[in-house]
């Protein structure tokens, strides 16, 4: 009665409908990005032809260098790479350490700390914004890149800890227990046994963190001021604000900013779109 | 949060012996060493700033010079501030309409992507792409898409003979327009739903099919209850996030037209970092915290009626 392989979608017509829906979703997902790239290739002034052209009358890739040279975008890119790299590194290291402790080490007060950790996810960051600004100003780190990555060397964030912890909980403990009997230290077990097995969750957190920091707008806005400390996200905004009429140039820089994110996303895609890395979230 | 996902503890908690054995002692030391960065960060970047924010809200402070204690004066002013109520209304409107819309779209996409079809992994990737688009790029792109004369959407509307809409510059339409825009990037909620759907027991679904349940009935009666903890998680996180919407209003609409997209955190930003009334802004922030706390508490209370936990009852 129920075909083993096709228990969800039985008939051909149901399959056709499903694929049509999936294609519709694809069009909606990609249409704005098509608009982004097409706008970035238009001739000067052609953003404002009426009615708008679906395919530009001529292609102008030279918009890209023109846009790139309007502001110190190499510097902004360097700042963004530095912040993203350091913040993600700190997050992966310290979040996985906390996650390991929550998942594997029976220490006194563990459940309390875990509940506290989860509760921070419900805390509006807007409440801590002003004191954190004042804290970094007091430490003399305002208008440097430090505030953008330093906090992420302290646990990286509750959601990441939670995600890795849930993943570790799904792993068998036998190998680790054997290592304990053999007298291996916790640090050794964490780094040599648990972490290699946790790769899918680490990859997912790495991608989330990379995307978050590369795209982050609010923190650079609050914690930096000079042009020298600007990141790409912030640079694009100032650029956009001053040149609001030249949409083709804004779209060119926006396209360039999107490229690294897509590269990282596609590279780690198999880990987290498949749902493997988030398997612990399902709650069994 | 703690209730959203059943917490399992793999090894027994430390026993209450009068004196700790060496193993227990070593575990405690190791546990706190591993946790140390997070504990320090929790105190320095969460607890400390929370307390400081509460204190600042009772003072007059410009970010420079002296901090002047004025007790509850900020709160008195806030409750007489018309813009405070405007911001609160705009934000509530946005969050209470936006979150259900986002969750509905994300769930539909997740169901679609959970079907056993060839190439479904390709679609999963494509559907997530809008979510990785940088927020700033996203906002500029959508300002352009919403453009009255030259934008993508009005251009499509003209194609089918509907008169164009002044999306971002009509006070009546700007908030629905921003919600519409947010629906484009619901990938985060989508993958969480997808992970949950993949955890739904196939035996149960099969059994229901054999008993003659239709697909829709099976979805409503089996799938929805089984993934309800994750719906709840997305609901809680979604409300908290949308109550703190900032970037889109800051860049695209600058709170306008006539303050119809002045969102709460944008108002905090203006008070704190543009007018340098840091005490006042801290007061606003604490009120937001209280509002979110109450909404979350109400949601936890209501969740007892609709969130189902397989393990039988919510732990902790």
The angle at the Cα of B298, spanning B296 to B299, to the nearest 5 degrees, equals: 65
Q: Which residues of B touch A187 (CB under 8 A)?
A: 30
Share of chain A above pLDDT 70, in %: 88
Query: What is the pLDDT at residue B51?
Result: 92
| pLDDT digits 0-9 by tens, A218-241 | 999 999 988 888 899 888 887 776
CA dihedral (B251, B257, B263, B266) positive or negative? positive
Mean pLDDT, residues B273-299 taken together: 92
- Closest among A265, A272, A264 to A164, alpha carbons compared: A272
Distance CA A209, CA B105 (A): 24
Mutate to test the interface with B, among A11, A13, A22 (most CBs of B within 10 A): A22
Per-residue confidence band for A39, with pLDDT thresholds at 50, 70 and 90:
confident
Question: Which residues touch B254 (CB under 8 Å, ≥6 apart)?
Answer: none
Residue A59 scores a pLDDT above 60: yes
Query: What is the pLDDT at residue B316?
Result: 35
Mutate to test the interface with A, among B51, B140, B183, B254 (most CBs of A within 10 A): B140
Mean pLDDT, residues A273-281 taken together: 60
- Assess B148–A contact: CB distance below 8 Å, yes or no: no
Query: What is the pLDDT at residue B13?
Result: 52
Q: Which of A31, A121, A169 sits opposite B10 (nearest CB)?
A: A169
pLDDT-wise least confident of A176-180, A192-196, B79-83: A176-180
Distance CA B305, CA B311 (A): 16
* Contact call for residues B168 and B177 (beta carbons, < 8 A): yes
CA dihedral (A166, A116, B49, B94) positive or negative? positive
Per-residue confidence band for A274, with pLDDT thresholds at 50, 70 and 90:
low
Question: Which residues touch B116 (CB under 8 Å, ≥6 apart)?
Answer: A5, A6, A7, A8, A9
Query: What is the pLDDT at residue A281?
Result: 62
The answer to whether the CB atoms of A106 and B229 lie below 8 A apart is no
Of all residues in chain B, the one with the smallest CA distance to A151 is B41
- Closest among A123, A101, A71, A79 to A243, alpha carbons compared: A71
Distance CA A218, CA B265 (A): 11
The answer to whether the CB atoms of B52 and A265 lie below 8 A apart is no
Query: What is the pLDDT at residue A258?
Result: 92
The answer to whether the CB atoms of B10 and A115 lie below 8 A apart is no
The answer to whether the CB atoms of B12 and A106 lie below 8 A apart is yes
* Contact call for residues A79 and A231 (beta carbons, < 8 A): yes
Q: Which residues of A touch B265 (CB under 8 A)?
A: 126
Residue A78 scores a pLDDT above 90: yes
Superfamily of domain B73-306 in the CATH hierarchy: MetI-like (1.10.3720.10)
Of all residues in chain A, the one with the smallest CA distance to B215 is A8
Per-residue confidence band for A1, with pLDDT thresholds at 50, 70 and 90:
very low
Query: What is the pLDDT at residue B153?
Result: 86
Total Cβ atoms within 10 A of residue A198:
23
Residue B265 scores a pLDDT above 90: yes
Residue B213 scores a pLDDT above 80: no
Residue B60 has phi, psi (to 5 degrees) of -110, 120
Q: Which of B42, B109, B240 sits opposite A122 (nearest CB)?
A: B240
Q: Which of B31, B129, B202 sits opposite A101 (nearest CB)?
A: B31
Query: What is the pLDDT at residue A91?
Result: 96
The answer to whether the CB atoms of B285 and A130 lie below 8 A apart is yes
How remote is the C-alpha of A4 from its chain's centroid?
38
Mutate to test the interface with B, among A23, A94, A105, A166 (most CBs of B within 10 A): A105
Please give the residue that has the higher pLDDT: either A138 or A55. Answer: A138
Gap from B105 CA to chain A (nearest CA, Å): 11
How remote is the C-alpha of B161 from its chain's centroid?
37
Distance CA B224, CA A281 (A): 16
Residue B297 scores a pLDDT above 70: yes
Mean pLDDT, residues B84-101 taken together: 95
| pLDDT digits 0-9 by tens, B175-191 | 999 999 999 989 889 98
Of all residues in chain B, the one with the smallest CA distance to A254 is B137
Chains A & B: contacts with CB separation below 8 Å: 328
Q: What ipTM goes with this model?
A: 0.85
Q: Which residues of A touch B285 (CB under 8 A)?
A: 124, 126-127, 129-130
For chain B, give the secondary structure using H, E and C. Answer: CCCCCCCCCCCCCCCCCCCCCHHHHHHHHHHHHHHHHHHHHHHHHHHHHHHHHHHHCCEECCCCCCCEECCCHHHHHHCCCHHHHHHHHHHHHHHHHHHHHHHHHHHHHHHHHCCCCCCHHHHHHHHHHHHHCCHHHHHHHHHHHCCCCCCHHHHHHHHCCCCCCCCCCCCCCHHHHHHHHHHHHCHHHHHHHHHHHHCCCHHHHHHHHHCCCCHHHHHHHHHHHHHHHHHHHHHHHHHHHHCCCCHHHHHHHCCCCCCCCCCHHHHHHHHHHHCCCHHHHHHHHHHHHHHHHHHHHHHHHHHHHHCCCCCCCCCC
- Highest mean pLDDT: which of B135-139, B144-148, B239-243? B239-243
The answer to whether the CB atoms of B240 and A217 lie below 8 A apart is no
* Contact call for residues B213 and B221 (beta carbons, < 8 A): yes
Distance CA B9, CA B316 (A): 12
Mutate to test the interface with B, among A25, A56, A106 (most CBs of B within 10 A): A106
- Assess B47–A contact: CB distance below 8 Å, yes or no: no
Gap from A64 CA to chain B (nearest CA, Å): 15
Please give the residue that has the higher pLDDT: either B310 or B94. Answer: B94
Q: Rounded mean pLDDT of chain A? A: 85
Q: Which of A9, A120, A222 sits opposite B115 (nearest CB)?
A: A9
* Contact call for residues B53 and A127 (beta carbons, < 8 A): yes
Q: Which residues of A touch B191 (CB under 8 A)?
A: 272-273, 275, 278
- Assess B109–A contact: CB distance below 8 Å, yes or no: yes
Mutate to test the interface with B, among A4, A55, A126 (most CBs of B within 10 A): A126
Query: What is the pLDDT at residue A283?
Result: 47
Residue B98 scores a pLDDT above 90: yes
Domains, chain A, ranges and CATH? 12-63 (no CATH), 66-282 (1.10.3720.10)
The angle at the Cα of B268, spanning B263 to B270, to the nearest 5 degrees, equals: 95
Gap from A85 CA to chain B (nearest CA, Å): 17
Give the tokens for residue B268.
């905090």
Per-residue confidence band for A93, with pLDDT thresholds at 50, 70 and 90:
very high
| pLDDT digits 0-9 by tens, B3-46 | 444 444 444 555 555 566 888 888 899 999 999 999 999 999 99
Residue B68 has phi, psi (to 5 degrees) of -110, 125
Query: What is the pLDDT at residue A243?
Result: 54
* Contact call for residues A217 and A234 (beta carbons, < 8 A): yes
- Assess B124–A contact: CB distance below 8 Å, yes or no: yes
Q: Which of A39, A127, A261 sits opposite B285 (nearest CB)?
A: A127
- Assess B273–A contact: CB distance below 8 Å, yes or no: yes
Residue B307 has phi, psi (to 5 degrees) of -90, 130
Query: What is the pLDDT at residue B122?
Result: 87
Per-residue confidence band for A244, with pLDDT thresholds at 50, 70 and 90:
low
Residue A193 scores a pLDDT above 80: yes
Mean pLDDT, residues B244-249 taken together: 90
Mean pLDDT, residues A59-81 taken together: 89
Share of chain A above pLDDT 90, in %: 35
* Contact call for residues A253 and A236 (beta carbons, < 8 A): yes
Mean pLDDT, residues B85-97 taken together: 94
Query: What is the pLDDT at residue A126?
Result: 85
Distance CA B215, CA A48 (A): 49
B positions 1-20 inside 8 Å of A (CB): 1-2, 4-14
Residue B313 scores a pLDDT above 60: no
Give the tokens for residue A101.
């402790």
């Amino acid at each position: 009665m129920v075909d083993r392989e096709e228990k969800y979608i039985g008939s051909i017509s149901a399959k056709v409908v499903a694929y049509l829906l999936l294609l519709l979703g694809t069009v909606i997902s990609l249409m704005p990005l098509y608009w982004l790239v097409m706008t970035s290739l238009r001739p000067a002034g052609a953003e404002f032809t009426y009615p708008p052209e679906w395919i530009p009358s001529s292609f102008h890739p030279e918009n890209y260098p023109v846009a790139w040279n309007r502001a110190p975008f190499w510097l902004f890119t360097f700042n963004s790479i530095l912040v993203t790299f350091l913040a993600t590194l700190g997050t992966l290291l310290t979040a996985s350490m906390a996650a390991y402790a929550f998942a594997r080490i029976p220490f006194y007060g563990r459940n309390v700390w875990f509940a506290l950790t989860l509760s921070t996810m419900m805390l509006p960051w807007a409440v801590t914004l002003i004191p954190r600004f004042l804290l970094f100003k007091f430490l003399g780190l305002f208008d440097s890149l430090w505030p953008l990555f330093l906090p992420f060397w302290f646990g990286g964030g509750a959601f990441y800890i939670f995600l890795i912890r849930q993943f570790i909980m799904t792993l068998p403990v036998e190998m680790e227990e054997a290592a304990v009997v053999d007298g291996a230290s916790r640090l050794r077990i964490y780094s040599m046994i648990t972490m290699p097995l946790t790769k899918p969750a680490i990859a997912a957190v790495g991608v989330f963190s990379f995307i978050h920091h590369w795209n982050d707008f609010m923190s650079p806005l609050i914690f930096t001021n000079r042009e020298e400390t600007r990141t790409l996200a912030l640079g694009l905004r100032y650029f956009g604000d001053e040149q609001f009429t030249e949409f083709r140039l804004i779209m060119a820089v926006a396209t360039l900013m999107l490229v690294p994110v897509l590269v990282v996303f596609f590279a780690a895609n198999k880990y987290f779109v498949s749902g493997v890395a988030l398997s612990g979230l399902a709650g069994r | 949060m703690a209730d959203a996902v059943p917490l399992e503890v793999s090894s027994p908690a430390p026993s209450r012996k009068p004196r700790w054995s060496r193993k227990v002692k070593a575990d405690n030391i190791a546990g706190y060493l591993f946790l140390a960065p997070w504990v320090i960060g929790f105190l320095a970047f969460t607890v400390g700033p929370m307390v400081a924010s509460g204190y600042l809200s009772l003072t007059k402070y410009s970010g420079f010079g002296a901090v002047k204690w004025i007790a509850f004066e900020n709160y008195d002013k806030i409750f007489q501030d018309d813009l405070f109520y405007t911001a609160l209304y705009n934000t509530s409107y946005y969050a209470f309409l936006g979150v259900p819309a986002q969750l509905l779209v994300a769930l539909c996409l997740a169901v679609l992507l959970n079907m056993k079809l060839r190439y479904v992994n390709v679609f999963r990737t494509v559907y997530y792409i809008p979510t990785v688009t940088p927020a700033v790029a996203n906002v500029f792109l959508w300002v352009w898409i919403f453009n009255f004369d030259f934008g993508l959407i009005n251009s499509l509307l003209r194609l089918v003979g509907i008169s164009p809409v002044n999306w971002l510059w009509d006070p009546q339409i700007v908030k629905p327009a921003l919600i519409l825009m947010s629906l484009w990037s619901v990938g985060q909620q989508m993958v969480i739903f997808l992970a949950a759907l993949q955890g739904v027991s196939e035996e149960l679904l099969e059994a229901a099919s054999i008993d003659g349940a239709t697909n829709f009935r099976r979805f409503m009666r089996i799938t929805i209850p089984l993934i309800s903890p994750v719906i709840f998680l997305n609901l809680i996180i979604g409300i908290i996030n949308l109550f703190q919407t900032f970037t889109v209003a800051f860049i695209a609409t600058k709170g306008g037209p006539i303050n119809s997209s002045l969102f709460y955190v944008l108002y905090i930003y203006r008070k704190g970092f543009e007018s340098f009334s840091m005490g006042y802004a801290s007061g606003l922030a604490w009120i937001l915290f209280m509002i979110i706390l109450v909404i979350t508490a109400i949601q936890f209370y209501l969740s007892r009626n609709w969130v189902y936990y397989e393990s039988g009852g919510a732990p902790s």
